[in-house]
Amino acid sequence: MRTREGDGAMERDAESKLYEGKAKIVYATGEPGVLRIEFKDDATAFNGAKRATIAGKGELNREISALAFEELEAHGIPTHFLGRLERRSMRVRRLEMIPVEVVVRNVVAGSLAQRLGRPEGEALARPVVEFFLKDDALGDPWINATHAEALGLASAGEMRQAEALALRVDEVLVPWLLERGLRLIDFKLEFGRDAGGALVLGDEVTPDTCRFWDAATGERLDKDRFRRDLGDVTGAYREVLRRLEEARA
């Protein structure tokens, strides 16, 4: 596993913790407009009701996300990724995050199966884009674009752009992953505004935020292994990274 780019050195005394979430810690750095994100080994599900520590998850997620961001950047999709740091960390652009989760679904799974009464694994005729308010206390409720505009979360133009970018991410990642034997079932993205006001993809692209199924067997290689007590979460994440790195070699 590649765990660093350059020497990964940072001036720790210039850092301060800005935010700690369920899966990541965000630090300010001594560089203007640059943050450090550290991926945690913590795992949560059902809005934090289920918790565990999974050794090695943070390091695996950092590298999977870095590889995904590099692929997206190569296709002209702007991301906050600036480079790898030691072990579980990466350098990213500082963004003003929009508190809306953008979910793209290619196949019926998870909450969509429950809401619509459809069987998991049913392919959708086209990708479906959904929006959710990022609010753990409320359980991240479903909203639409007009909610986001009316509540002052994002402009109508930003919501249209977020949807278009999310679909573009889907267009890039689906074939990229399928070539590596992975089927992209659905995934969550978060966007933010950069210093110039442009919309940029932030957060992460990992098995924590995406459903990856083995294209041949349908085996789940994502956080559903933790949610559903399927076991060997680390092994599944490691297998995703192995396939991404093997194809890159």
DSSP annotation string for 106-162? EE--HHHHHHHT--TTPEEEEEEEEEEE--GGGT--EE-HHHHHHTTSS-HHHHHHH
Residues 6+ away with beta carbon under 8 Å from 175: none
Tens of pLDDT, residue by residue over 4-46, are 444 344 445 567 999 999 999 999 998 999 999 999 999 888 7
Cα–Cα dist 172/101, whole Å:
19
Global pTM reads: 0.92
Are the C-beta atoms of 86 and 92 separated by less than 8 Å? no
Task: Please give the share of the chain, as a percent, with pLDDT higher than 70.
Answer: 93
The CA distance from 237 to 1, in Å, is 12
Q: Are 53 and 68 in contact (CB under 8 A)?
A: no
Token reading at 127: 């990708």
Closest listed residue to residue 79, CA positions, set 67, 61, 89, 63: 67
The superfamily in CATH containing domain 96-232 is ATP-grasp fold, B domain (3.30.470.20)
Rg (alpha carbons) of the chain, rounded to whole number = 17
- Listed by start position, the domains of the chain span 12-93, 96-232
Residue with tokens 């918790």: 51
Task: Identify any residues that bridge with 45 across adjacent strands, giving them in sequence order.
Answer: 50
Q: Return the closest-CA partner of residue 57 out of 247, 240, 249, 218.
A: 240
pLDDT tens digits, 194-218 = 999 999 999 999 999 999 999 999 9
pLDDT tens figures, 75-108: 999 999 999 998 899 999 999 999 999 999 999 9
* CATH architecture assigned to 12-93: 2-Layer Sandwich (3.30)
